[in-house]
Structure 1
Amino acid sequence: MNTLEVDVAIIGAGTAGMSAYRAALAHTRSVLVIEGGPYGTTCARVGCMPSKLLIAAAEAAHAAKHADAFGVVVDSLRIDGAAVMQRVRDERDRFVGFVTEAVDNWPAEHRLRGHARFLDGHTLQVGEHTRVAARRIVIASGSHPNVPAEWRKAAGDRLIVNDDVFAWQSLPQSVAVLGSGVIALELAQALHRLGVRVGLYGRSERVGPLTDPVLQSATRKVFAQELPMRLGASDLHLQRVGNEVAVRVGDEDAAAEQRYEWILAASGRPPNLQALGLQQSGLPLDTRGVPLFDPGTGQIADSHVFIAGDA
């Protein structure tokens, strides 16, 4: 068993972990970043960056479709789904390359591969090979898509999450987007503008992150003008039918159901905390097992441990 002692240990080399690393270097060279998964950040691989590439293609199609308002007539609009997704993947890979190159250029003694878990408030076990004693610890372990078990059971391999969209070789014929948050709205609108038949189903009446009731009302109207939306669809029934999935809300009869090639689960991203052994850390936790932290500083209670990013 290897043993290390550092001033700052950072769990996760995603966007938040990389930012924490740069900030820590302003105070000490005794920094260690621990990562158990691939380098490249969620943002670059499957999040903000590839989604904006898809949105850019969708905006180009949308502009062409409405160009006649400016006296520009597009006689025949054709969307090449394979070319759209090829560009998304190519540019995504380029972005990821920048991030991995940055991490690869860190000193070797600042990087450690393996999954970390707390043994006590100052000690981390990394894999089965290294024990790390740290004066300060930053939890930047990211998040993962929320997929209710009943959806997975009903849809099987026809159910995907946002991470999977950016591996598509071409655009599908139809997608049901389950969720009405930011990720759901971005992908639903982009796919719709690229010619995919989309249905968006929201559990509540709320659309996006806005909390002001007037803005919520306006947002619902704006999106409903373009997207087929079913809000307040908390009682959702999915049924696999061949290579499609039938979606029905509540006690609607079979005639009201819609069938889709894919079901995209976009119903939130819980933090990656379950495998960290936080119960051994002595940190105060809420009922979900999430540390109680100051949202302004990220400090957990008055401890030497901080939390950052999606976690």
Structure 2
Amino acid sequence: MRHISVDTVIIGAGTAGMQAYKTAVENNADTIIIEQGPLGPTSITSGCVPSQLLHEMGRQFSSNSTPMLTMTLYGKSADKQLERSEILNSVRNEKRAFLDQYIKEFYTIPEDCRIMGKAFFIDPYTVAIEGTDTTISARSFVIATGSKPYVPAEFQRIGNRVITSGDLFELKELPQSIAIFGTGSIGLELGEYLTRLNVKTVIFGKGEIGHLTDPKVAASALNAIKERVFIVPYGRFTTMEQTDDSVVIYYLDETDHECYLKVDYVLCATGRIPNLDDLQLETAGIQLNSLNQAYCDEETLQTSVPHIFIAGDTTSSTRSNLQKALYQGKIAGANAATYPRLYQTCNMPHQDITFTDPEITVTGLSFEEVKQRARTGHKFILGESSTADNTTSVIKGYRHGLVHVYFDRETQLLLGAEICAPYAQQMSQFIYGALYNRQTLDDLIGYNFYHPSAFEMLTEAFEDAKKSFKLLGPVA
């Protein structure tokens, strides 16, 4: 039996885990990081990196047609041409450069401070490594094991013709046709990119669009998406069967007419769930909720067991992104290293960006969260502007799009925004900064953006909110 005793153990070497390890070491904790493999964070293996590579290729493909220019990390190479059948292979080659950099970073960790293997708790202060005689005890732990795609049972029975976003990037070549279930960021982005690459694509949803909760913005976004992608936002499939080389789908459309569809693959983009199944958290005394997620204190990132922390995608199946994972990794690593002295997370504004055309963003409090807040007596004001009234949007041919901004009625403090518009990601960055600096409507009303630009939509939304404040007057 081999037993190791350290100050802190980090379980998981993805984005949050690596950041937690670095921060724990910076705080002078004797730290070990454990990774079961394969090496590589979700952002590189199946997330934003391959997705954005596919995005760029789709953009080139739709404007230049085949054969197309090859993407490199240093720009476009005019002397090489890429056939459609080589697109996924090119994505994998480009992704490899990012993955190699990550692996290089992982192996700079001293050998006695990193372990490849599957860890599980045998008591609140000890983990074992599966298939070995090694146990490790520590006074604190950080769980950062990431998440995995959620595939509902009705999809699992179809077999190998049901894939996830990660599986898509490992196919030998792009399919001729595909049905995507899920209208979150992953489903909408991949649906648009694949359509641009001449893959016959249909997206099925359950009414939601991206992560929008504002009905008016969501309706505008749906109209914009329909111009570029075939989407059935309220489709209900009645039968789904696998044949030798395809999947047959019978579904009811919005008018309750039964429709028939045959595709090469079904891509399940119905969300993600934390990777917690093999950790034996009950042995450590960690409480799980009804969704099988570990309890997490949002300020300290402690689980129900105070010396065990959690960070990154493992904390939740929704509203996660790389920036949040990095920040949580830093806080969890610092708290684990200095426990029982604790640092608290600052109130980071939420930011969610869907890289469709036009882009869709939710920054700060969503419309639904603002409404819930209003039910406790905190009334709000909404400001609106439309692409139809914006010179740049009209020139670029965007017929649908809205900006909604939300302000506290009493303090005029900015609360959040939901946007579907060209350059929405840049608008989201502006809103994020305003939220972080706790700016009010009076602070923001003075901004003058360059004309013509899509950013003028922000000015118009702020001015619209100001009119509402004047009409309603002060809170009684």
TM-score when normalising by structure 2? 0.59
Residue of structure 1 in register with 2:92 after alignment = 89
For 2:22, the aligned partner's letter is: R
Q: Helix, strand or coil for the counterpart of 1:168?
A: coil
| 1:17-58 superposed Cα distances (whole Å, 9 cap, x missing partner) | 111111111112411111112112221122211111001111
Pair 1:152-2:174 in alignment: no
- The counterpart of 1:163, out of the listed 166, 169, 180, is 166
Pairs within 5 Å for 1:174-213 = 174-202=177-205, 204-213=206-215
* Structure 1 counterpart of 2:446: none
Structure-2 separation of matches of 1:180 and 1:297: 32
Cα deviation for residue 250 of structure 1 reads 4.3
Whole-angstrom CA distance in 2 between matches of 1:232 and 1:279: 39
Could you tell me how far apart the structure 2 residues matched to 1:234 and 1:7 are? Answer: 52
Report the secondary structure of 1:215's partner residue.
helix
Q: Are the structure 2 counterparts of residues 5 and 158 from structure 1 closer, same or farther at C-alpha, using a change threshold of 3 Å?
A: same
Equivalent residue of 2:313, what SS? coil
Match of 1:126 among 117, 126, 129: 129
**Per-residue displacement from partner, 1:201-253 (whole Å, max 9, x unpaired)?**
11x20011122222222221111221111122344521123311111224977
Amino acid at match of 2:138: A
User: Higher relative contact order at CA 8 Å, sep ≥6: structure 1 or structure 2?
Assistant: 1
Give the SS at the match of 1:310: helix
Q: Distance in 2 between matches of 1:178 and 1:59?
A: 23
Change in 2 beyond 3 A, CA 1:227/1:136: same
Aligned to 2:8: 8
Structure 2 match to 1:56: 56
Runs of 4+ that moved beyond 4 A: 250-254
> Which protein shows a greater Rg?
2
The letter for the 2-side match of 1:201 is F
Which residue does the alignment assign to 1:40? 40
State the match for 2:286 in structure 1: 283
Which digits, 9 at most, give the CA deviation of each residue in 1:49-97, with x for residues without a partner? 11110011112223447xxxxxxxxxxxx97222322220111111110
Rounded to whole Å, the distance in 2 between the matches of 1:219 and 1:294 is 34
Q: CA–CA distance in 2 between the matches of 1:20 and 1:118?
A: 19
State the Cα distance separating 1:15 from its structure 2 match.
1.1
Query: For the residues of structure 2 that align with 1:210 and 1:6, how far apart are their CA atoms?
Result: 45
CA distances 1:92-128 after superposition (whole Å, capped 9, x unpaired): 1111100011111110111012111111221111113
Cα separation, 2, equivalents of 1:302 and 1:278: 10
Distance (whole Å) between structure 2 residues aligned to residue 271 and residue 293 of structure 1: 13
1:227-283 deviation digits (Å, cap 9, x = unpaired): 1111223445211233111112249777x2111011111111111111111111122
Q: Describe the SS at the equivalent of 2:195.
A: helix
Q: In structure 2, how many angstroms separate the alpha carbons of the residues matched to 1:257 and 1:209? A: 28
Q: Tell me the SS of whatever aligns to 2:248.
A: strand
Which amino acid in structure 2 is aligned with residue 241 of structure 1?
T
In the TM superposition, what whole-angstrom CA distance separates every residue of 1:125-169 from its partner, at most 9, and x where no partner exists? 111321111111111111111112321223x22111111111123
Is 1:61–1:79's contact at 8 Å kept on the other side of the alignment? no
Identity among equivalent positions (%) equals 33
> 1:205 and 1:79 mapped to 2: Cα distance?
37
Residue 474 of structure 2 is matched in structure 1 by none
Partners in 2 of 1:55 and 1:304 — Cα distance? 42
Q: 1:231 aligns with which of 226, 230, 233?
A: 233
C-alpha deviation, 1:170, in angstroms: 2.0
**2:286–2:305 contact (8 Å) kept in structure 1:** no
Structure 1: runs of 5 or more not aligned: 66-77
CA distance in 1, matches of 2:28, 2:229: 51
Distance 1:51 1:8 in 2: 34
Contact 1:177 1:188 in 2 (8 A): yes
Q: State the one-letter code of the partner of 2:7.
A: D
Q: Which amino acid aligns with 2:285?
A: G
What CA distance in whole angstroms lies between the structure 1 residues aligned with 2:62 and 2:297? 42
Aligned to 2:249: 247
Residues 139, 157 of structure 1: alpha-carbon distance in 2 compared, 3 angstrom cutoff = same
Alignment deviations for residues 180-204 of structure 1 (CA, whole Å, 9 cap, x no partner): 11111111111001110001011x2
Change (3 A) 1:234 1:27: farther
1:253-264 equivalent positions in 2, closer than 5 A: 256-264=259-267
Q: 1:295 and 1:233, CA in 2 relative to 1: closer, same or farther beyond 3 A?
A: farther
Equivalent pairs, count: 296
Q: Distance in 2 between matches of 1:270 and 1:231?
A: 23
Question: In structure 2, what is the Cα distance between the partners aligned to 1:241 and 1:288?
Answer: 33
Partners of 1:79 and 1:178 lie apart in 2 by 29
Residue 28 of structure 1 corresponds to which residue in structure 2? 28
Matched position secondary structure for 2:58: helix
Quote the RMSD (CA, aligned, Å).
2.0
| Preserved CA contact (<8 Å) 1:7 1:28 | no
How far apart, CA to CA, are the structure 2 residues paired with 1:122 and 1:235? 48
Helix, strand or coil at the partner of 2:149: coil
Q: Does 1:19 align with 2:19?
A: yes
